[in-house]
Amino acid sequence: MDSPSWVYLLGLAGMGIYGLRILIQWYLSEKSQKVESPGIYWVLSSIGAVILYIYGWLRKDFSIIFGESVGYYIYMWNISIMGLYKKVPRIVVILQAMFPLFILALIVRDLPTFVDTFLKNEDVPLNLLLFGVLGQFTFEIRSVYQLVYSYKRKQSILPLGHWVLAVIGSSMIIAYGIIRHDWVLVIGQFSIFFSIRNLMISLAEQRRKRDSDPSDIM
């Protein structure tokens, strides 16, 4: 399905913000030679998620909406545990928290139309849609893993398993984007190179920790 140019530009803006977050995170990690989890990474993740929610809706692509839904509130949790919400008006936090609920309300409001448009889209056969959803799920489940890992330690951490899932999920999303002819998705996954680099840094860091704390490898 072709979309107006401004829709693709919006998607590229969202992917650009996602790309900027990992560029900053990667730079800080290279500088310290350990995987960093800076606050700006999570702030940009939240902004990018909102834009890609809208892009997914305009492209009538359920896999994108599904993928953004998995990590959205986890981004908020990381921002919260870092104390960054203390620096913004409360109304911003409320509006951010309500945004996915607004999307859900739009879906529920006319569920039959949503099913026909998003789940029975002739431009996205069901098997391709399921592959796209699986790719998004694999990519975004890394956020759930990161949440569980960080929650146990009461701090925001980007562990080794996060990057393993990121690389696998990115590869699947690239394949989906190529088949779907959605070059925004393909270009947006250039971050796979930084995920691979973070994976390498994380492995080196874990090797240094192995003798001192074997239980903290993943």
User: Which helix H or strand E contains 9, and what residues bound it?
Assistant: helix 5-32
Q: Tell me the helices (H) and strands (E) count for the chain, helix number first.
A: 9, 0
Tell me, yes or no, whether 19 lies in a domain: yes
Q: Is the pLDDT of residue 119 over 90?
A: no
165-189: per-residue pLDDT in tens?
999 999 999 999 999 888 889 998 9
Q: Work out the angle at residue 187's Cα, subtended by the Cα atoms of residues 183 and 191, and round it to the nearest 5 degrees.
A: 150
Whole-structure pTM value: 0.85
Q: Is the pLDDT of residue 145 over 70?
A: yes
Tell me, yes or no, whether 56 lies in a domain: yes
Least confident of 42-56, 70-84, 99-113, 201-215: 201-215
- From CA 40, how far away is CA 13, in angstroms rounded? 17
Q: What is the span of the domain harbouring residue 189?
A: 5-210
Tell me, yes or no, whether 150 lies in a domain: yes
Tell me, yes or no, whether 73 lies in a domain: yes
40-91: per-residue pLDDT in tens?
999 999 999 999 999 999 988 888 999 999 999 999 999 999 999 998 999 9
99: how many CB neighbours lie within 10 A of its CB?
Answer: 16
Q: Is the pLDDT of residue 30 over 80?
A: yes
- Quote the number of domains for the chain: 1
- From CA 170, how far away is CA 186, in angstroms rounded? 9
